[in-house]
Structure 1
Amino acid sequence: MTGIYLALPYCLSHCHYCGNPATPYSARGAERYAHKLIADLAAARPTWAGRPIHTLYLGGGTPTLFAAPLLAAIMGAVRAHFQLAADAEITSEANPETVTPPVAETLLGLGVNRISIGAQSFSPHNLRALGRRHDPAAIHAAVAAARAAGFANLSLDLIFGLPGQTADGWKADLEQAIALAPEHVSAYILTIEEGTVLGERVAAGKASPPDEAACADLYALGADILEQAGYARYEVSNHARPGFACRHNQNYWRGGDWLGVGAGAASSLGGARSAWPAPVDGYLAAAAPDDLETLTPRQRAHDLAVFAMRTAQGADLAAIHAATGTDLEARLAPAITRLATQGLIRREGARLIPTPRGMLFADAVGAALADG
């Protein structure tokens, strides 16, 4: 499977927890950026020609800040230079305050068939602490606008592990999200990053996030509530109703190929990886992405295992052996035994599957299976 990721890293303000590069939005800046994006899509055509594109993802920043003519030009360039599959999943991220009825109708009219709304929380206090611009009412309005426009595939993002957050508060967020009947819910643990407003508050002792044990309890609570509501956990942080798992992200976890265009966007083609500079100014000045590495078959085998172990299906070692010629069963025997003893994975034939505890400690499982 092949996907395209387009980075549109413009925001009205920088959230207190966000360590990603984001540029204050201006109409002139967005227009210049879109023209560069369109030129780079054209330049990528020879390398990616002839491949059906199964997923397209407009990531932020806030793609829905871009004016309708710019979004139309970007989507037109994708269709002009690439072969979008008839059933392609086309996603746009959106902040709630930007999803008005005209915006939702524009997105759907351009072929976007999946919208991912960054709700994060339904608590006014938590939203202020995160530096979000919207209030709970804006989440409801955004979902209503998307549904009225005709979106039948809608995802909500939530964050847990906030300073002062309780189990009851997290449960309330989940229940309010479920009440809106999205097809997909992502539940991410808050990461405290240096250089962010929240990171500085924590460093100064002005905020204290829940400890590891409390976050583990919140994670388990979230998974239980979502699964009881019909949202199966198919990846560490992602839950979906049947048939609504995010295909774009699944392509990453399954080792597929993808083209990334825009500031900080990475590409992977047959194990060869490249990335554009992350700052917008650096991207605008770059003639081409920087080559990062080309994975050896052994490295690719380990990479496939690490990413697959983030998913409920786990890693099929026999399939990885067939694809790369690398026998991870032999190479990783001690690590596999140790992880199984620790209750982090279980075996089903040649397949390694993370346990619920293994999902919680996915980074540790991945580190144990990485090519060392």
Structure 2
Amino acid sequence: MFGLYIHVPFCATRCGYCDFNTYTPTEAETSHEQYLRALGRELELAEIGPADTVFIGGGTPSLLGADGLGRIMDMVREHVGLRPGAEVTTESNPESTSPAYFEGLLEAGFTRISLGMQSASAPVLRVLERAHTPGRAAAAAGEALAAGFGHVNLDMIYGTPTETDDDVRATLDAILATGVDHVSAYSLIVEDGTAMARKIRRGELPAPREEAYASRYELIASTLADAGFGWYEVSNWARPGGECEHNLIYWRGGSWWGAGPGAHSTLGTRRFFNVKRPERYAAALERGELPIGGEETLTAADLEFERIMLGLRLREGVPREWIPAAAEGVVDKHAKGGLLTVGERVTVTDAGRLLVDGIVTDILAAE
């Protein structure tokens, strides 16, 4: 399968934990219209396709409105093409959506919506510096479902400073009440250079408690399992048929083109990325050049590392023959410790999900 990722670099405000390639109105030197024209030119020059999946992320794609996102899909159809039954997803921030917005997206050919909920707790949202009110994300999910979307995802973040177990339970209750078929749950990572990192350094916020991550993850996993959601990637759960096909392309080592400022692409053994600043991105395309900022050729060792690292995060695991001979002892050790199941495929157990990064490190270090 071949995926197309499109990065929208605009946000109304910057969340305190975010280190993505995004620009607020006071930071952006490129208008939405200039961005859309440049994006169309990139898709034309790329000479790729057709796409099995399209994923528009950001940033805040919903700031472009249904009309702007519909224009992007017109460009995709013209310059890239879509396979029959293609999955077409856009991320959206709850505060920039409405029933009319979702109806417009459905008419434009989108099949999947991903909403950034993060938490149902007002104090937690304030710490994260999210703009929406606690109930808005759930309401937006209801609007998307009412418009006719069969696949709707809600993102949540756990491990925020000041967060309690009750906050996590309230968020899960709110998610399950909506009827969505997909949930993504990510532990908070405090990135250097973010507003949150500066507040923690100054003592204005406590640092996240590492010991809370495991207990919160277990709470999330057990609650979603009881509600009929199955995990298919360590941080992602879905009802049957609700899995995100685009993200599975990444995790299964497929190929994709990343369009937009700062987007990354992988085509076989070739990996490259676009320049980050929207004005540099647009200027390169105005000259008729692809806005590539750098690239590398992946070696066999690189590919082996990534397919094990990503594959073990999936419920399906990896074929046994992918495990290097030098690491078989490590795999057997983790199997005896209850962290791996070994047969024709090597998969992580429920206990192993909590330690998957360390397991991968052990396997690759042994080689």
TM-score in same-fold range (> 0.5) = yes
Matching residue's letter, 2:175: A
CA distance in 1 between partners of 2:300 and 2:30 (Å): 45
Deviation at 1:342, TM superposition (A): 4.4
Cα pair 1:303 1:370 within 8 Å, conserved: no
Deviations 1:234-267 (A, max 9, x none): 1111010001011111110001111111112111
Two-structure CA RMSD over aligned residues (Å) = 1.9
Matches within 5 A, 1:185-224: 185-224=183-222
1:292 aligns with 2:295: yes
CA distance in 2 between partners of 1:251 and 1:121 (Å): 28
Cα pair 2:182 2:242 within 8 Å, conserved: yes
CA distance in 2 between partners of 1:220 and 1:227 (Å): 10
Distance 1:278 1:355, change over 3 A: farther
Per the alignment, residue 344 of structure 1 pairs with 339
CA distance in 2 between partners of 1:369 and 1:107 (Å): 44
CA distance in 2 between partners of 1:97 and 1:361 (Å): 35
CA distance in 2 between partners of 1:94 and 1:331 (Å): 45
Equivalent residue of 1:64, what SS?
helix
Matching residue's letter, 1:77: M
Deviation at 1:27, TM superposition (A): 11
2:179 aligns with one of 170, 178, 181 = 181
Equivalent residue of 2:163, what SS?
coil
Matches within 5 A, 1:73-222: 73-222=71-220
Deviation at 1:19, TM superposition (A): 1.1
CA distance in 2 between partners of 1:147 and 1:306 (Å): 34
Distance 1:28 1:268, change over 3 A: closer
Deviations 1:144-173 (A, max 9, x none): 321222111100001110112222221111
1:226 aligns with 2:220: no
> Could you state the TM-score of these two structures normalised by the residue count of structure 1?
0.91
Gaps of 5+ in 1: 321-327
Cα pair 2:62 2:92 within 8 Å, conserved: yes
Equivalent residue of 2:282, what SS?
helix
Cα pair 1:186 1:238 within 8 Å, conserved: yes
Per the alignment, residue 333 of structure 1 pairs with 328
Cα pair 1:185 1:239 within 8 Å, conserved: yes
Per the alignment, residue 30 of structure 1 pairs with 32
Deviations 1:282-328 (A, max 9, x none): 4334433244222223432232111101111111133x5xxxxxxx3
CA distance in 2 between partners of 1:269 and 1:331 (Å): 29
CA distance in 2 between partners of 1:73 and 1:173 (Å): 34
1:363 aligns with 2:366: no
Distance 1:303 1:163, change over 3 A: same
Per the alignment, residue 63 of structure 2 pairs with 65
Distance 1:306 1:140, change over 3 A: closer
Aligned sequence identity (%): 38
Distance 1:141 1:175, change over 3 A: closer
Per the alignment, residue 3 of structure 2 pairs with 3
Cα pair 2:320 2:342 within 8 Å, conserved: no
Cα pair 2:124 2:160 within 8 Å, conserved: yes
Distance 1:310 1:282, change over 3 A: farther
Matching residue's letter, 1:7: H
Q: How many residues align?
A: 359
Cα pair 1:93 1:117 within 8 Å, conserved: yes
CA distance in 1 between partners of 2:303 and 2:363 (Å): 12
| Between 101-110 and 53-62, the greater mean CA deviation after superposition | 101-110
> Could you state the TM-score of these two structures normalised by the residue count of structure 2?
0.92
